[in-house]
Amino acid sequence: MRSRDRAGVLLALAVPALIVGWMVAPGVFARHDPLAVDPAATYRPPGAEHWFGTDGLGRDLFARVVHGTSASVPAALLAVAVALLAGGLLGLVAGYFGGLTGDLVGRLVDVLLSVPSFLLAMSLITTFGFGTVNVALAVGLVSIGSVARLTRAEVLRIAARPYVTAARVSGRGHLAVLLLHVLPNATRPVAALAALEFAAAVLGISALSFLGFGAAPPSPEWGALVAAGRGSVSTEWWLGIAPGAVIAVVVIAVNALAAYLQPEEAGT
């Protein structure tokens, strides 16, 4: 790896590492209480005392963004887990066994992909109810189709390799072939896929939270913080720009990691 590429990867890794720190120990990074109201400090622009400025109640926006990580990031991880477990299992079965099973899974995936994902997520939330966990489940469920399709393609590629054919001919059972030959060789593509899905989940959950489907106020959540500043862009611009910039940086960094994790033969 060239030094320039290595520096890019390290920079991309630094962002998720910082976000994990915010999620695990938000009090270490933000000294202000995210819910503390200070009428004397309303609508203060970013500065040394308040890095991201304050809102209409005098609450420190940086503290709210940092503490909001504890809601937004775990929700994105839950969505990725749902998508990978369900979609990965469907893609694995369809790609390895093929035949009627593969056709049935393929038709199911086509149905899931035929419906706009955001519209489907909103429909699911209407059924489940509002809240961060329900938003995460909805985003994860609508991602099953894309994960299943990509997993199936990867499993088909690996299953056609000579060593997999040799394992089958030697009499090894399907479970042994999957565990010993198919899954280990799909680790890196699956990791890249998980990173891409995480970035998409952050965007999806933030968008749904922006529309009011997430946590109820005054709990800080990234999408809700952006929504709170949408009417003050021309005056208190930092209210929406600061949390929006954090979302953008996280998504860009995770996508950069996903590009690095992709196998060379699959493209960059």
What are 39-53's pLDDT values in tens digits?
Answer: 999 999 999 999 999
- Classify 60 as helix, strand or coil: strand
Q: Are the C-beta atoms of 243 and 68 separated by less than 8 Å?
A: yes
| Res 2: pLDDT | 54
Return the DSSP state at 186.
T
* Residue 36, in any domain of the structure: no
Give the range of the structural domain holding residue 128, as residue numbers without chain letter. Answer: 3-24+65-266
Tell me if 187 sits within 8 A of 232, measured CB to CB: no
Q: How does residue 268 score in pLDDT terms, banded at 50, 70 and 90?
A: very low
How long, in residues, is the chain? Answer: 268
Give residue 266's pLDDT.
Answer: 42
Mean pLDDT computed over every residue of the chain:
87
Please give the helix or strand (H or E) that residue 17 lies within, else none: helix 3-24
Whole-Å CA distances, 117 to 19, 74, 139: 26, 20, 8
d(CA 168, CA 85) in angstroms, rounded, equals 25
- Residue with the two structure tokens 């994790």: 261
Q: What is the pLDDT of residue 263?
A: 65
Total count of domains within the chain: 1
> Is position 47 within any domain?
no
Residue 48: Cβ-neighbour burial (10 angstroms; 0-12, 13-18, 19+): exposed
Region 207-212: mean pLDDT is 91
Query: Per the domain annotation, does 108 fall within a domain?
Result: yes
In a domain, 59, yes or no: no
Residue 106 forms part of a structural domain:
yes
Contact 200, 225 (CB under 8 A): no
Evaluate whether residue 57 is within a structural domain.
Answer: no
| Mean pLDDT score, 240-265 | 87
Residue 55 lies in a domain: no
Q: How confident is the model at residue 150 (pLDDT cuts 50, 70, 90)?
A: confident
Question: 79 CB contacts (<8 Å, ≥6 apart)?
Answer: 136, 137, 139, 140, 143, 197, 201, 204, 205
261, part of any domain: yes
Q: For 78-133, how does the pLDDT look when each residue is reduced to its tens digit (9 = 90+)? A: 999 999 999 989 988 888 887 787 788 888 888 888 888 888 898 899 888 888 89
pTM: 0.86
CATH number of 261's domain: 1.10.3720.10
